[in-house]
Amino acid sequence: MAKRTSGASVVPSESSLRGKDSAMTQYQPNNPATSAQPIISPFERFAMAPAAQGLYSPEDEKDACGLAIIATLRGHAGHDIVDAALTALRALEHRGAVGADEGTGDGAGLLTQIPDEFFRAVVDLELPASGQYVVGTAFLPVQESETLIAVEGLEALAAEEGLRVLGWRKVSVVADLVGSMARTSMPQFRQFFLALSEGEEANEIATVLDSRAYRVRKRAQNKLGVYFPSLSSRTIVYKGMLSTAQLEPFYPDLSDSRFKTKLGIVHSRFSTNTFPSWPLAQPFRTIAHNGEINTVKGNRNWMRARQSTLASP
């Protein structure tokens, strides 16, 4: 594993983290009397990167990472697939890096199917059948006042998009495992459970759920500054500014024998000329890559150019 001796050890000020483009109007569905405040983008709030300066520009960032995929053809989920995926992740230590404090990884993560049996055992909620509810881990602000605003805003957005809030779960983490830089930018972790409105029926429930959850997730990021590694009826992502060896002990959920899946995708990040970030750890929601998507800027611009022709039901 590579060790960073400069750059990543610098802790930028809060003002430099915000940058020029982070001011967004705070979403206040039920409190118009409260004055609007700027919202910090989650890609800046939960990161160690400074604003563009000198020869450094976030536009030029690339990574060099390692990834692995494991799946079973036996037809049923098991915790052994989680174990095998985490073993593969630890074998990718040489494809990751750590900061100068030796405890802050560039990023590591795991994508699995929704562990339905596990959630039914650990949450005191009436969950619908597997595949008929959405769950995702929200990266929330640390300040309680900001967390409350974000939670209320998320619940309001869900209602606006036709989803019923089933409840929340605080995700257990072992924060002492990570280095000072990772702790400085670490968010709160809470899982958000959603379902269709009471009495509503749909022919393809998973498709309807994921379509509405997508809109909640995008609006949450743009209006509230809340980041979801995933918000889906099918898959869930556990990730962070961690090393490959830290992921499992940091998230005790992953060691629970009831946490079962048929597949696992793991990723070890090496930020070759970038700064580590909690949101930019991988896997992402539908992809894990080595950071060399050379057309990514063009892809984004083409999509922005077509936004006026897109529609969402």
Q: What is the pLDDT along the chain (313 residues), one digit of tens a residue?
A: 655 543 433 334 433 333 334 344 455 555 544 445 677 777 677 666 667 777 767 666 555 577 889 999 998 999 999 999 999 999 887 766 676 677 887 889 999 999 999 999 999 999 999 999 999 999 999 999 999 999 999 999 999 999 999 999 999 999 999 988 889 989 999 999 999 988 787 778 888 999 999 999 999 999 999 999 999 999 999 999 898 899 999 999 999 999 999 999 998 887 766 778 888 888 887 776 766 666 777 888 888 898 888 776 5
Alpha helices in the chain (DSSP H): 14-18, 42-45, 79-90, 116-122, 144-160, 180-184, 205-219, 247-250, 296-306
What's phi and psi for 216, nearest 5 deg? -60, -45
132 is catalytic: no
Spell out the domains of the chain, with CATH numbers in brackets.
66-290 (3.60.20.10)
Task: Give the pLDDT of residue 33.
Answer: 42
* Choice among 8, 17, 65, 85 that is catalytic: 65
Q: Which amino acid is at 195?
A: A
Give the global pTM: 0.77
Task: Give the pLDDT of residue 6.
Answer: 39
Six token digits for residue 255: 């060691």
Strands 2-3 and 97-98: parallel
Nearest Cα residue to 216 out of 167, 280, 155, 168: 155
Task: Give the pLDDT of residue 299.
Answer: 84
Task: Give the pLDDT of residue 12.
Answer: 41
Nearest Cα residue to 263 out of 52, 20, 18, 71: 71
Strands 134-140 and 163-170: unpaired
